Structure 1
Amino acid sequence: MDYYAGLDISLRSCALCIVDGNGTVLLERELPCEVSEIAACLGAFPNPIERVGFEAGTMSYSEISGTDEGPYVLTDFTSSGMTHSEPAYAELNNAKRIKGPFTGFNFGEVSISWNDPAGPIVTLRCYDAVGRQQFEHNIQASELHLD
């Protein structure tokens, strides 16, 4: 069985959730936003975790980035929760950018389809303030990687 972790990162806390390949929630924790605390919680899980995805956002543009430089393949979906940034931020070089950016008022949506025969599919969508989709990215959970 494959296991996946999701992190919702904020300034002071982190919500962590681990699910199996069927979508069953096996662990939910609210943690301090400290790397050591998050790593300890992931490391204490009794089974190997295939992939970790995380969402973090402040007054920034919306984009999707990814990396495989650490112990887990990470996909970062930053969406600004009805905030926005200067359009100049979109010009910043982000070699790990997969989709986006969108600099207007926006919000993000993460959904998981558990019924695909090949395994779970994670869909990340960015919408503007009136609900128009700006971009979408689908990831086969078993193949999360930097495009």
Structure 2
Amino acid sequence: MRRRSIASVALACALAWNAIAAADSAVDSLKTEESEWMEIRDSRDPAVFEAYLAKIPSGVFVELAAHRLVALKPEAAPVLRGRIVPLSRTAVDAKLYKELDSTFFDTIWDSKNPDDFFAYLRKFPDGAFKALAEQRLGSLVQ
């Protein structure tokens, strides 16, 4: 009986350790993605956005990268269906969620493209800048 108990505890510890490692890996991945986006977001070279989309096909900033690509190279018009997924607050820690939310909105705050604000509202449906995005969107689509 004692051996089973020790084995159960060992298994539970191993599973918990794997879950923690997976969560840490996801956070590291999002931080890397944010860093890469910050490096390219003001580029005027469509190849930069094509490379970003090839490297990170379903990331937080994919929709913005596609908008920038199409603005610079209209014939690119990438297909985004299935790649836009709201970022869940439970998927990342609160500090990282706020950071990504802020980075995303900082990228679009002076945009004249309503699609950028729609993208923000899809990615961060309860984001800190939701009201501002809706207000800005309202002024752009009138």
Same fold by TM-score, threshold 0.5 exceeded? no
Greater per-residue helix proportion: 2
Q: What TM-score does the superposition give when structure 1 sets the normalisation length?
A: 0.27
Greater per-residue strand proportion: 1
Q: Which has the larger Rg?
A: 2
Q: What TM-score does the superposition give when structure 2 sets the normalisation length?
A: 0.28
